[in-house]
């Protein structure tokens, strides 16, 4: 997916339009006090302006903000965010942390740096978000989730987030949205980057990459390595019964929490002929880490953490893409792209010393996925209106070989038809999409989507979407072996959802003395049938079951502005309410495990109702130095359907600062880096207790020192 802003057309607003814009901004300043100002003039944002009706405009190459709303060409009406990783130079951060700053997104971490984490969009589960790497699906049919810690930031150029259902674009699993991780691409010019970071608790990370051109081929190679001891102190959870403390909180040490990982990316691209380009790439990742597990047993030593459990995971993804754009045998209005990809993932888990009554545990899983996807687009005029029509075909094969659950496979075929219809000089765009999915185990699904974009002026846009999405149960949910506390349920039905959202975007290149002012607000509503949740089906067993409808609704508000090329401020607020309706009568069915009824209106556990992110960057546009302050607020999180257990609300502050030594020293030597940034980062300055799940504490205050250079 290439990132570009959508087309917004219209004439330059007059005095009445200026006054209307000022009134809107002043009204919204109640929600964003930092935008409370009296503008004396404005200029519409250049990113939204057009030179002539019907002309497409791309965003400027220069990026001046860390997180900003954008549009994605494959889903132009969606509410989307593009994160440019270059904006985080001189900051010790990760894919998980930069995603956490995006509006509508929550990241659940299960143990701090190096340990697993997963994404939630608009209250979704991790299985309900599809993660792509350069357009190739990383979700496997085994678990449906992608561990964000397996995606090192050093090889990432940008992250594209489409919030809301995305099954019309990618098929099963995209109930919450779609995230596309875009790698750093060679540009044909020699470029070398290197970085090293050292921090608390024996944490070190380094990366090295080089890109160049050899003849007609642009090529690049990158490596990233990470290691940590992870032996930090934390406070255990206080346990109360009827308001009386049964087990007080105590200081414990996270044990068996070491992690070591290695990642590599190699790629090459070249023109086979005019308008015919081939790209080939391979991405490798390996991690070996301890698995301390939860600390939720107050009677066991160290909270019941395991000292011997260990996991090894290997993933390799390879792909080849042929792009056809401007090739002589085809009309200039036609573009084609065809991608063949293969994913292999192997994991091994060992627990040689489990509980006294259990035998040693050792499991192995191998996931394989092969896919072919071809898309074509045609741009032109028909029946008096502008069209950007698309047609896509996809074939995907997935399999699991498990030492516990045996062998399982799934084959899916899909056809997608889409269009972008521009009317009223493209001030109104209709975006219909229809996808047909067929899998050999769950049959056929028709997935419609309808989007609307209305652009009455250059500085104001309205968007709305109505779309269906679904998720087929993953193999763990279906076939998890009946060994101990958790087992699978082969009678599960697919999750089925309807997503609706609507809102507006404002954008000004200049508003009084502020630069690049942007504001976005969206309301969303989601109705999910057959939600899959793990429930206790007996005193000794938990299994996944289908519930009745679950509903999630809320709003997203985000904004940013710059001041005098020295200050950038961005903020976002996500509010959501998730409720589980009363489950269907067990007499209506449910297979081996009929759903257990929950009272209507029960809050869906694992979600924070409110998240607020603030980011302030101070420094000249030359990049001589940069100071960053961030504030992250998360409201309380319910842990179960009874809502009897909760995690307290928290506010976390992060600080970082960096200076470009190359600008200070100005040494005229060929070997000296063009950019050499020395930095210091402190996360969780207040050393507050942080947990996204009751059994998995995260570290408190963390200190990093870093150096990164480019040649």
Dist. CA 632–CA 613, nearest whole Å: 5
> Which range, 5-9, 68-72, 356-360, 367-371, has the best average confidence (pLDDT)?
367-371
Q: Has residue 509 been placed in a domain?
A: yes
Dist. CA 197–CA 207, nearest whole Å: 9
Lowest mean pLDDT among 191-205, 299-313, 592-606: 592-606
Domain count within the chain = 1
Using the predicted structure, report yes or no on whether residue 347 has a pLDDT greater than 70.
Answer: yes
For the stretch 295-328, pLDDT in tens is 888 888 888 898 999 999 999 999 999 999 988 8
The token pair at 419 is: 């269009």
Dist. CA 485–CA 239, nearest whole Å: 22
Residue-level pLDDT at 600: 60
Residue-level pLDDT at 75: 83
Cα–Cα distance list, 37 to 33, 138, 316 (Å): 9, 45, 52
The whole-model pTM stands at: 0.87
For the stretch 85-127, pLDDT in tens is 999 988 889 999 999 999 999 999 988 899 999 999 999 989 9
Residue-level pLDDT at 512: 84
Residue-level pLDDT at 4: 29
Q: Has residue 467 been placed in a domain?
A: no
Q: Has residue 318 been placed in a domain?
A: no
Q: What is the dihedral of CA 291, 292, 293, 298, to 10 degrees?
A: 170
Q: What is the dihedral of CA 233, 235, 237, 241, to 10 degrees?
A: 140
For the stretch 484-518, pLDDT in tens is 567 888 999 999 999 999 999 999 988 888 988 99
Dist. CA 326–CA 334, nearest whole Å: 8
Q: Identify the domain containing residue 636 by its residue range.
A: 15-245+253-313+328-462+480-710
Q: Has residue 475 been placed in a domain?
A: no
Q: Has residue 81 been placed in a domain?
A: yes
Least Cα distance to 501 among 451, 549, 454, 457 occurs for: 451
Residue-level pLDDT at 596: 52
Average pLDDT, the chain: 84
Q: Has residue 322 been placed in a domain?
A: no
Q: Has residue 198 been placed in a domain?
A: yes
Residue-level pLDDT at 517: 92
Q: Has residue 455 been placed in a domain?
A: yes
8 A C-beta contact, residue 530 and residue 547: yes
> H helices within 363-412, ranges in order?
none
Dist. CA 705–CA 86, nearest whole Å: 18
Dist. CA 107–CA 696, nearest whole Å: 14
Q: Which residue's structure tokens are 């030594």?
A: 661
> H helices within 214-259, ranges in order?
none
Dist. CA 604–CA 643, nearest whole Å: 9
Using the predicted structure, report yes or no on whether residue 62 has a pLDDT greater than 80.
Answer: no
> H helices within 584-646, ranges in order?
none
8 A C-beta contact, residue 700 and residue 232: yes
Residue-level pLDDT at 700: 92
Lowest mean pLDDT among 71-80, 219-228, 257-266: 71-80
Please write down the HEC assignment for all residues of 122-158: CCCCHHHEEEEECCEECCCCCCCCCCHHHCCHHHEEE
The token pair at 677 is: 């940034």
Q: 599: buried, middle or exposed (CB in 10 Å: 19+, 13-18, 0-12)?
A: exposed
| Beta strands in 115-253, from DSSP E residues, in sequence order | 117-121, 129-133, 136-137, 156-163, 177-183, 191-199, 203-214, 217-228, 233-235, 239-241, 244-247, 251-253
Q: What is the CATH number of the domain that holds 357?
A: 2.40.170.20
Dist. CA 152–CA 150, nearest whole Å: 6
Least Cα distance to 569 among 510, 632, 506, 613 occurs for: 613
For the stretch 534-578, pLDDT in tens is 776 666 677 888 876 888 999 999 999 999 889 999 999 999 998
Dist. CA 59–CA 77, nearest whole Å: 16
């Amino acid at each position: 997916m290439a990132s570009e802003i959508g087309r917004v057309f219209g004439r330059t607003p007059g005095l009445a339009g200026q006054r209307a814009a000022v009134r809107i901004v002043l009204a919204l300043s109640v929600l964003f006090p930092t935008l409370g100002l009296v503008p004396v003039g404005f200029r519409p944002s250049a990113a939204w302006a057009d030179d002539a009706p019907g002309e497409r405009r791309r965003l400027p190459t220069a990026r001046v903000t860390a997180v900003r709303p954008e549009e994605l060409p494959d889903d132009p009406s969606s509410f989307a965010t593009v994160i440019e990783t270059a904006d985080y130079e001189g900051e010790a951060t990760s894919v998980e942390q930069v995603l956490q700053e995006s509006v509508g997104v929550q990241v659940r971490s299960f143990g701090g740096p190096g340990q697993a984490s997963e994404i939630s969009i608009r209250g979704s589960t991790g299985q309900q978000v599809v993660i792509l790497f350069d357009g190739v699906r990383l979700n496997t049919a085994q678990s449906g989730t992608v561990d964000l810690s397996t995606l090192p930031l050093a090889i990432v150029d940008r992250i594209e987030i489409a919030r809301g259902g995305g099954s019309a674009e990618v098929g099963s699993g995209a109930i919450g949205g779609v995230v596309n991780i875009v790698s750093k691409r060679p540009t044909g010019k020699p470029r070398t980057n290197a970085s090293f970071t050292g921090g608390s608790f024996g944490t070190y990370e380094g990366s090295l990459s080089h890109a160049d051109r050899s003849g007609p081929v642009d090529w690049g190679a990158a490596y990233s390595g990470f290691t940590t001891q992870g032996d930090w102190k934390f406070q255990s959870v206080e346990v109360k019964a009827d308001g009386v403390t049964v087990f007080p909180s105590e200081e414990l040490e996270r044990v068996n929490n070491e992690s070591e990982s290695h990642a590599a990316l190699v790629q090459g691209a070249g023109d086979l002929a005019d308008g015919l380009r081939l790209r080939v790439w391979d991405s490798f990742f390996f991690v070996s880490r301890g698995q301390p597990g939860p600390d939720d047993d107050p009677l066991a030593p160290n909270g019941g953490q395991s000292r011997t459990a260990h996991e090894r995971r290997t993933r390799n993804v390879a792909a080849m893409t042929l792009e056809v754009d401007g090739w002589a045998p085809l009309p200039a209005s036609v573009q084609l792209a065809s991608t063949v990809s293969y994913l292999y993932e192997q994991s091994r888990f060992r627990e040689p010393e489990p509980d006294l009554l259990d035998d040693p545990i050792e499991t192995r899983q191998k996931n394989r996925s092969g896919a072919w996807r071809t898309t074509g687009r045609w741009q032109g005029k028909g029946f008096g209106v502008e069209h950007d029509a698309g047609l896509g075909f996809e074939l995907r094969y997935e399999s699991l070989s498990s030492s516990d659950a045996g062998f399982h496979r799934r084959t899916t075929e899909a056809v997608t038809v889409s269009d972008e219809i521009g009317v009223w000089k493209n001030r109104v765009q209709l975006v219909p999409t229809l996808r047909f999915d067929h899998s050999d185990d769950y049959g056929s699904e028709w997935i419609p989507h309808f989007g609307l974009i209305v652009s009455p002026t250059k500085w104001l846009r309205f968007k709305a979407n109505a779309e269906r999405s679904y998720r087929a149960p993953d193999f763990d949910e279906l076939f998890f072996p009946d060994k101990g506390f958790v087992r699978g349920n082969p009678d599960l039905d697919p999750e089925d959802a309807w997503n609706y959202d609507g809102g507006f975007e404002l954008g000004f290149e200049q508003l009084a003395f502020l630069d690049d002012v942007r504001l976005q607000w969206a309301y969303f509503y989601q109705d999910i049938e057959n939600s899959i949740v793990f429930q206790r089906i007996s005193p000794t067993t938990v299994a996944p079951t289908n519930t009745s409808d679950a509903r999630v609704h809320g709003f997203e508000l985000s904004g940013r502005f710059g001041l005098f090329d020295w200050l950038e401020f961005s903020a976002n607020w996500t509010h959501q309410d998730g409720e589980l309706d009363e489950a269907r009568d067990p007499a209506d069915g449910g297979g081996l495990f009929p759903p257990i009824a929950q009272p209507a209106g029960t809050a869906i556990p694992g979600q924070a109702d409110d998240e607020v992110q603030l980011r302030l960057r101070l420094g000249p546009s030359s990049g001589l130095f940069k100071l960053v302050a961030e504030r992250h607020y998360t409201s309380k999180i319910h842990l179960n359907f009874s809502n009897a257990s909760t995690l307290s609300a928290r506010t976390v502050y992060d600080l970082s600062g960096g200076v470009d030594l190359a600008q200070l020293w100005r040494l005229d030597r060929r070997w000296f880096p063009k950019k050499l940034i020395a930095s210091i980062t402190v996360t969780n300055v207040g050393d507050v207790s942080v947990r996204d799940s009751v059994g998995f504490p995260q570290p408190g205050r963390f200190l990093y020192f870093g150096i990164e250079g480019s040649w």
